Structure 1
Amino acid sequence: MSTPKNYLVISALGKDQPGIVKALSRKILDEGCNITDSRMTVLGGEFAILLLIEGPWNTLAKLESAVPELQEDLGLTIICKRTEGKVRSSNLLPYMVEVVSMDHPGIVNQLAEFFSERDINIEDMVTNCYSAAHTGTPMFSVHMSVGIPSEIHIAALREEFMDYCDALNLDAVIEPIKG
């Protein structure tokens, strides 16, 4: 019988500076834990990181107890939470959604509303504002991964989504994630 895996989610936020990832990953390694999933970005002048850490129960506890010192040393606000491993549902189909439009308030909310009303989970999302080439028009892009329940008719969903996006003047693509 295999030992159940233990997981800890760490969220950290603070002024962007070189060496944050090195210091966090070193502490995690020194405590005998492993980073199994992560997201990192700079938003404005702030560095934000989400880490899924795996390790024996006692090493995760040691890492949790080191958080106050890490916060002080790195100037970060750190939150830790124990969690379980992700359970992959065999009835969810992984799809990628890409949306681009002129920037205006409410795009994320509109997309979230569309998927939420159909019980489709947004599993990952990245948004970005940029200036269009040649014109400098403020643009907005969204890239997300969603889990579509297998009982949903994909062709009908795709048509409904494309009509929804057309009505909002959003250029969109929804495709299966391959691999």
Structure 2
Amino acid sequence: MASHNPRDFLAITATGDDQVGLVQRFTSKLAEAGCNIEESRMALLGGQFAIIMLVSGRWDALSKLEDRLPAIGEELGLSLIAKRTREASRPQPVIPYQIEVVAMDHPGIVHNLANFFASRGINIEDVNTSTYPAPHTGTPMFSVTMRVGIPGGTHISNLRGDFFDYCDELNLDATFEPPRT
């Protein structure tokens, strides 16, 4: 049964060998189908280009795009995964906070941070990580920036204190602030 909601959504993940013009060619296929990009993240990871996006459109435009995705993937050399979705709904109000952590690179940093927040019922909504050599020494460094949604009613100053104590135990330098707009 077709939806009558004028803003249906399709979440698309695409990966493939990096190539000049890939974003232009892929987004032209979305526009041709009558779809709009609501949100996207695109990154070069090693020699692979990765795209994750939320596309909106009328139900028939999204259906047309879904039907064409296998051919688009073949034509552009992309592995594509698409899934119908809906606007995010929150069971309770949340307060957005931005977390930034820098440390000498070692396995488990993201896992430890995820464990801290999950154990407190806090959802991680966005994560970006990178590695880089430290100035002067060249020591491998790791940086993570994440946006979390803290449930309303949470005592923020206690949470911040617990978070900084946790980071001190793991030798992580961190900030915990409302997001900058």
**TM-score, normalised by the number of residues in structure 1:** 0.96
Contact 1:127 1:140 in 2 (8 A): yes
2:52 to 50, 53, 78: 50
Contact 1:101 1:140 in 2 (8 A): yes
What amino acid does structure 2 have at the position aligned with 1:66?
Answer: R
Q: Secondary structure at the match of 2:80?
A: strand
**Percent of matched pairs sharing the same residue:** 53
Contact 2:104 2:141 in 1 (8 A): yes
Contact 2:96 2:148 in 1 (8 A): yes
Q: Secondary structure at the match of 1:177?
A: coil
What amino acid does structure 2 have at the position aligned with 1:23?
Answer: R
Contact 2:97 2:148 in 1 (8 A): yes
> 1:60: how far off?
0.3
> 1:90: how far off?
5.8
1:158 to 146, 157, 160: 160
What amino acid does structure 2 have at the position aligned with 1:85?
Answer: E
Q: Please list every run of at least 4 consecutive aligned residues from structure 1 whose deviation after the TM superposition is greater than 4 angstroms.
A: none
CA–CA distance in structure 1, aligned partners of residues 5 and 78 of structure 2: 33
CA–CA distance in structure 2, aligned partners of residues 79 and 177 of structure 1: 31
**Paired position in structure 1 for 2:38:** 36
Contact 1:97 1:145 in 2 (8 A): yes
Query: Aligned residues, how many?
Result: 178
What amino acid does structure 2 have at the position aligned with 1:126?
Answer: N
Q: Secondary structure at the match of 2:20?
A: coil
1:139 to 138, 141, 160: 141
Q: 1:16 to 1:124 in 2, by over 3 A?
A: same
Superposed CA deviations along residues 84-127 of structure 1, whole A, max 9, x for unmatched, are 01225662000000000000110000000000000000000000
What amino acid does structure 1 have at the position aligned with 2:152?
Answer: S
Contact 2:16 2:78 in 1 (8 A): yes
What amino acid does structure 2 have at the position aligned with 1:106?
Answer: G
CA–CA distance in structure 2, aligned partners of residues 145 and 66 of structure 1: 34
Structure 1: which 5+ residue stretches go unaligned?
A: none
> 1:51: how far off?
1.1
**Paired position in structure 2 for 1:96:** 98
> 1:82: how far off?
0.1
Contact 2:18 2:48 in 1 (8 A): yes
CA–CA distance in structure 1, aligned partners of residues 41 and 18 of structure 2: 15
CA–CA distance in structure 2, aligned partners of residues 51 and 98 of structure 1: 24
CA RMSD between the two structures: 1.3
**Paired position in structure 2 for 1:18:** 20
CA–CA distance in structure 1, aligned partners of residues 168 and 119 of structure 2: 18
Structure 2: which 5+ residue stretches go unaligned?
A: none
Contact 2:69 2:80 in 1 (8 A): yes
Contact 1:5 1:85 in 2 (8 A): no
**Paired position in structure 2 for 1:70:** 72
**Paired position in structure 1 for 2:114:** 112
CA–CA distance in structure 1, aligned partners of residues 141 and 174 of structure 2: 14
